[in-house]
Amino acid sequence: MRKLLRKIGYIKVLFILTVTTIIVAEILAYIVIKLFSYPYDDSTPYVTFMVASLTTPLLSWTLLKLLFELDEMEEKTYFLATYDSMTMLLRREAFFQYAMRIHLLAKQYDTPYSIAIVDIDNFKSINDKYGHDAGDKVIIHFGQILLDLFQLDKPIGRIGGEEFALVLPVESRDMEKKMKAVHMKLQETSILYDDNLITYTVSIGIFGNVSPEKITLDEALSYADKALYEAKRTGKNKSVIYHEKIAFNDIPGRPVNLRDR
C-alpha cells in the first residue's frame, strides 16, 4: 500500500482523497436527508461539495505530508542500513542475510551455489604510498567494476575494509569464469590520482556448495575464505577454487565462522 501511494505521488493522493471525500459526503448527505425528512433544495449538493472540497485538503495536507516524510525517512534509513555508502554494494550484515536466502533456496530445491570472497592485494601498501584518499578511490573503483560486471540485484557485498563477497546460483567453475572477467577488467583499467596512475590486483577464493543440505552457509563461507588465503599464499592476483588439500591449511588469526570476523 505504501509503495502504491509513493508511486502515485503526494499531490495525486491528495486529489484522489478529496474527490473520494466529496462523493462520500454527497451520498451521506442525501441518505441523512431522506432518513430524517430534512428539507432538500438545489443548494444542498453545492454546499456539501464546497464544505468537502475545502475542508478535506486543509485537514489532509499536513497529515499526508507527515506520512510521506516519515516514509522517505524510513526509505533512507533502510538504504543506509543495507548499502555501503562508499561502493553502493551491500553492507556486511545485509550481504550475509541475502546469502542465507540463497542458501535456503538452494537447500530447498537441491541446487548448487557458489561463494567468491575477493580481497584487494597489497591494499596497505597503496594506502602507505599514496594516502588513504587514494585507498578509498581504489575501493570505490573496484566496487564500480563489480556493479558493471554483475547486476545490482545480485548479492554482492563489501564485507570488510578491502574485502568483498559474491554469492551466485552457479557451480564453482562458472563462478571461476566470472571471476576471470574481474581479473581481466583490472588489467585493462587504472586510477588517476594526483598525477599518479594506480594499478592493483585482487585475490579470490571460491567455493561451490553442491550439497547445501549438508554444508551450512558458515561452512561454505569458511571454505571460500580458505581458498582466498591459498590464493594470497601462492602469489596473489588469482582465483583459487577450494579443494581438499586446502582444508588442512589453517588461517592464522581468522575465526572459522566468517560472520564473526
Q: Are 204 and 116 in contact (CB under 8 A)?
A: yes
Give Cβ neighbours of residue 224 (< 8 Å, ≥ 6 apart): 115, 116, 117, 165, 205, 206, 207, 242
All domains of the chain in start order, with CATH: 2-82 (no CATH), 92-260 (3.30.70.270)
Query: Which residue is catalytic, options 26, 74, 162, 230?
Result: 162
Establish whether 162 is a catalytic residue.
yes
Q: Is the pTM of this model over 0.95?
A: no
| pLDDT values of the chain reduced to their tens digit, one per residue, 261 residues | 556 556 666 577 777 777 888 788 777 777 777 777 767 666 767 677 777 776 776 667 677 677 767 767 777 777 778 899 999 999 999 999 999 999 999 999 999 999 999 999 999 999 999 999 999 999 999 999 999 998 766 789 999 999 999 999 999 999 999 999 999 999 999 999 999 999 999 999 999 999 999 999 999 999 999 999 999 999 999 999 998 877 655 555 555 567 666
C-alpha span between 69 and 56 (Å, rounded): 20
Query: Which region holds residue 42: left if phi is over 0, alpha if psi is between -120 and 50, else beta?
Result: alpha
Distances (CA, A) of 51 to 1, 54, 108, 184: 28, 5, 58, 69
Side-by-side strand order, sheet with 156-158: 156-158, 163-168, 113-120, 202-209, 239-241
The helix/strand/coil state of 156 is strand
Residue 170: DSSP 8-state: S
Distances (CA, A) of 129 to 43, 66, 122, 193, 200: 83, 50, 11, 12, 13
